[in-house]
Amino acid sequence: MIEHIIDKLHNGKYITLETTPLHSAKFAPVIDKIAKLGLDKLVDGFSTTDNPLAKLKYNALFAAKMLQDRFNKPVLATMSMRDRNRIALQSDLLGANEADIRMILALTGDPAKISDQPHAKGVFESDSTLLLDMVSCFNSGIDYAGKPLALDPDPIYPFAVINSYAKNPKTLQKKMQKKISHGAQGIITQPVYDLENAKHLLDLMESANRENSDNPDAQLILGLFPLTKMRTAQFLASHVPGINVPSSWIETLRKAHEISPEEEYKVGFELSKTLFEELKSLHPKIHLMTANQFTVAKDILS
């Protein structure tokens, strides 16, 4: 199952859908929504987020196991450096491995100071490359301290993330090169809102791969977050570094917003759907993020 989606990543079409566990003791309601909409039939796999924005949520690894068991589709489980030291990270990797959660998205993580948990402190022993290096060690049959494991893990497939925009594109290429050199098989971009931006990212990825002879076939996965509200577009454009929302999108959404909420949604969805189809034609490796708005996801994917 997992090796099949990795083959699709490198040689075919690859579409994954992000899920965000809730502030809840149950993940089943999220799974039930996905099942009701039949979304599992429209994607190659899922992902689970790990306490995004340092807000307490249901555990990403347990959520990944539940999704994988329910739909028999592989799940990319996020692990952040914020909440675990190197002992806990490796322990989680070992437990996840026997549960067949073997696609791991390595993130540094959002700062603990923005958490909803008073006095929470970040661990941050290093950035996400430390976790990528741990995966490389496990795939060689040793832990990060170099000690042989009693039984070798099944292969683990590490992923990473990258901004979709920078004033100096060379900085993006250098970050791509760094993550590829630490073993990332796939690099997921922040949301893309412009076809030329996507083409430029693909060019940068091609250059980054040429610089890494040990891992020359890492794949770029284009992130897409549908925009159906002017307010969301303005927030991303103004407050989220590494994302470029074209002014034409904001202006089009503004005009629709002045007509009605229904028109705003319709116009935003049409922009997003058109972009999805264009990206799919350009480079059919896409990670769809909808903040659990699964009806929107179904309409985009259908």
Instruction: Check pLDDT > 90 for residue 75.
Output: yes
Find the mean pLDDT for residues 69-89: 97
Strand partners, 47: 18, 76
Ramachandran bin of 123, using left for φ above 0, alpha for ψ from -120 to 50, beta for the remaining angles: alpha
Nearest Cα to Cα of residue 285 among 294, 276, 293 = 276
CB-based contacts of 282, cutoff 8 Å, min separation 6: 195, 198, 199, 202
Nearest Cα to Cα of residue 90 among 56, 122, 133 = 133
CB-based contacts of 271, cutoff 8 Å, min separation 6: 227, 249, 252, 253
Instruction: Check pLDDT > 90 for residue 213.
Output: no
d(CA 211, CA 176) in angstroms, rounded, equals 10
pLDDT tens, position by position, 110-164: 999 999 999 999 999 999 999 999 999 999 999 999 999 999 999 999 999 999 9
Contact 18, 47 (CB under 8 A): yes
Contact 148, 121 (CB under 8 A): no
Instruction: Check pLDDT > 90 for residue 215.
Output: no
CB-based contacts of 71, cutoff 8 Å, min separation 6: 34, 35, 40, 46
- Residue 172's pLDDT is 96
Instruction: Check pLDDT > 90 for residue 175.
Output: yes
Which helix or strand (DSSP H or E) is residue 252 part of? Answer: helix 247-259
Looking at every residue in the chain, the average pLDDT score rounds to: 97
Kindly state the tokens that stand for 206. Answer: 């091609």
- Residue 212's pLDDT is 84
Find the range with the poorest average confidence among 42-56, 154-168, 189-203, 208-222.
208-222
Nearest Cα to Cα of residue 280 among 44, 9, 11, 15 = 15
Contact 57, 22 (CB under 8 A): yes
- Residue 150's pLDDT is 97
- Residue 149's pLDDT is 98
Contact 132, 179 (CB under 8 A): yes
- Residue 242's pLDDT is 93
Look up the CATH architecture of domain 2-228+283-297. Alpha-Beta Barrel (3.20)
d(CA 289, CA 279) in angstroms, rounded, equals 14
- Residue 241's pLDDT is 87
Residue 35 Cα distances to 25, 150, 246, 293, 298, angstroms = 19, 39, 34, 14, 11
DSSP sequence for 57-118: -S-HHHHHHHHHHHH---EEEEEESSS--HHHHHHHHHHHHHTT--EEEEE----GGG-SST
Residue 32 Cα distances to 37, 70, 71, 121, angstroms = 9, 10, 11, 34
